[in-house]
Amino acid sequence: MTLHTYLTMSKNQLLEFYDELNDSVLEETPTSQKRLFQKRESKKQVADARLFVRAQEISREFKFTYKAARFEEAWLLDSLVEIAEHQWISDVLRKVKGGKEASVYLCTPGVEVDAPLLAAKIYRPRMLRNLKNDSQYRTGREDLDENGNVIVDDGALHAMAKRTAFGEEVRHQSWIAYEFTTLETLHAVGADVPKPYAMEKNAILMDYIGDPSNPAPVLNAVNLDPDEAKSLYERVLCNIDLMLKHDRIHGDLSAYNILYWNGDITLIDFPQVVIPGSNPSSWTIFLRDVTRICQYFSAQGVDCDARDLATDLWTSHGHKIVKEVHPKYLDAEKQEDRRVWKKQN
Ligand SMILES: Nc1ncnc2c1ncn2[C@@H]1O[C@H](COP(=O)(O)OP(=O)(O)O)[C@@H](O)[C@H]1O
Ligand SMILES: [Mg+2]
């Protein structure tokens, strides 16, 4: 790539490039890759300079307690600047969890938000590329814009279908908007989810679960005594039932996406939420969610049968059990397979 290419990259492309380098620098570099690394390193300096300037501009205005690593600072500041400008947060105290797709930060609320502590979940630009299988979840879901409204604009829909850079940004935004609007819906009906406060570009602000020095552990890291296991299991089922009542399947439910704090549970991580009636894979996805929950609770001594349980919950909300067959197992030459295909689409 030439210098010109760098200077004409969109901000999102630049952030993504920068994000990539973050990992390549952090990982051990074998000798064979050193030359490639050096080449990248010099290119990086150009990108580095631009983002550094941007980070400097923002950090002049907002002084956060948390000192991000050099590579992280630019996208962190860029993601939070509007949230800070709206006075939803007044400070970033520390990183709660850094992941490949999103990082979560502990923040103190600004004057506009009434909460003890806040969690800001910031999606990394590369998250989009990991959405390879997102079509399974997107089927039957209308795409949402940055305000959580259904996208009707032909240009945006066309760009998404064509997978242009702009289209990919819209797709990314829609994924985040689903997490935010699902939290809004479920919180309003009393589900055990963090209260959401704001969504900006690639960040979501919600209640923080834990205390300032200890974020709540995920349920999977907790061993429960049998009585508590039984009552939390029932609590999870109530939440699954409530979600179905409001036309939502979590889609990635497991003891890794449930936080445990002071004897209570909180379900998190909703971007892949599925709308039951409109997705042909809903039953399979729902059964997988219930199965993972049963795996954890069985290990905690609770007696549960995932298939029976999933069947009861599913049919009690009027849904039919449809087992989707993957297209690779269907033969276009066979009439019966063509019928299955038609039914599935
Ligand atoms: N509201 C919250 N309060 C405290 N910790 C949180 C909160 N939301 C997320 N976390 C922490 O961040 C981790 C990642 O969040 P999650 O939404 O599951 O994103 P992903 O799994 O896609 O990275 C969680 O496992 C949890 O440790
Ligand atoms: Mg998660």
Q: What type of residue sits at position 343?
A: K
Read off the pLDDT band of 278 (50, 70, 90): confident
Q: Which ligand is nearest to the CA of 206?
A: 1
- Output the CA 208–ligand 2 centroid distance in Å: 15
Residues 6+ apart with CB under 8 A from 133: none
Whether 344 maps to a domain, the answer reads no
Q: Whose CA is nearest to atom 13 of ligand 1?
A: 97
Read off the pLDDT band of 303 (50, 70, 90): very high
Whether 345 maps to a domain, the answer reads no
Whether 328 maps to a domain, the answer reads no
- Output the CA 217–ligand 2 centroid distance in Å: 12
Q: Whose CA is nearest to atom 16 of ligand 1?
A: 269
Q: How many CB atoms lie within 10 A of CB 150?
A: 11
Residue 254 three-state SS: coil
- Output the CA 245–ligand 2 centroid distance in Å: 23
> Once rounded to an integer, what is the mean pLDDT over residues 43-60?
68
> Total structural domains in the chain?
2
Average pLDDT, the chain: 85
In testing the pocket of ligand 1, which one of 92, 94, 97, 123 has its CB within 8 Å of the most ligand atoms? 97
Whether 165 maps to a domain, the answer reads yes
**Residue pLDDT, tens place only, 179-221:** 999 999 999 999 999 999 999 888 999 999 999 999 999 999 9
301: left (phi > 0), else alpha (psi -120 to 50), else beta?
Answer: left
- Output the CA 40–ligand 2 centroid distance in Å: 31
**Residue pLDDT, tens place only, 19-35:** 665 554 445 556 666 66
Whether 332 maps to a domain, the answer reads no
Is the pLDDT confidence value at 294 over 90?
yes
**Residue pLDDT, tens place only, 172-184:** 888 899 999 999 9
Token readout for 211 is 């205390």
**Residue pLDDT, tens place only, 220-260:** 999 999 999 999 999 999 999 999 999 999 999 999 999 99
Atom nearest to 194 CA in ligand 1: 1
* pTM, two decimal places: 0.81
Is the pLDDT confidence value at 132 over 70?
no
Q: Which ligand is nearest to the CA of 105?
A: 1
Contact 169, 12 (CB under 8 A): yes
Whether 93 maps to a domain, the answer reads yes
In which domain, by residue range, is 134 found?
3-211
- Output the CA 273–ligand 2 centroid distance in Å: 13
- Output the CA 61–ligand 1 centroid distance in Å: 28
- Output the CA 335–ligand 1 centroid distance in Å: 47
In testing the pocket of ligand 1, which one of 207, 259, 265, 272 has its CB within 8 Å of the most ligand atoms? 259
Atom nearest to 268 CA in ligand 1: 17
* One domain, residues 190 and 310: no
Contact 122, 15 (CB under 8 A): no
Q: Ligand 1: residues whose CB is within 6 Å? A: 96-97, 99, 101-102, 104, 119, 121, 194, 206-210, 215-216, 218, 257, 259, 268-269
E strand or H helix at 12, and its extent? helix 11-26
State the Cα–Cα distance between residues 194 and 187, nearest whole angstrom: 7
* One domain, residues 103 and 18: yes
Of residues 44, 43, 53, the one with CA closest to residue 22? 44
Domain CATH for 228 = 1.10.510.10
- Output the CA 213–ligand 2 centroid distance in Å: 20
Domain CATH for 30 = 3.30.200.20
Whether 14 maps to a domain, the answer reads yes
* One domain, residues 242 and 161: no
Altogether, the residues listed in the chain come to a count of 345
* Among candidate residues 211, 231, 253, the one where a domain is terminated: 211
State the Cα–Cα distance between residues 164 and 159, nearest whole angstrom: 5
Atom nearest to 259 CA in ligand 1: 26
* One domain, residues 169 and 52: yes
Q: Which ligand is nearest to the CA of 127?
A: 1
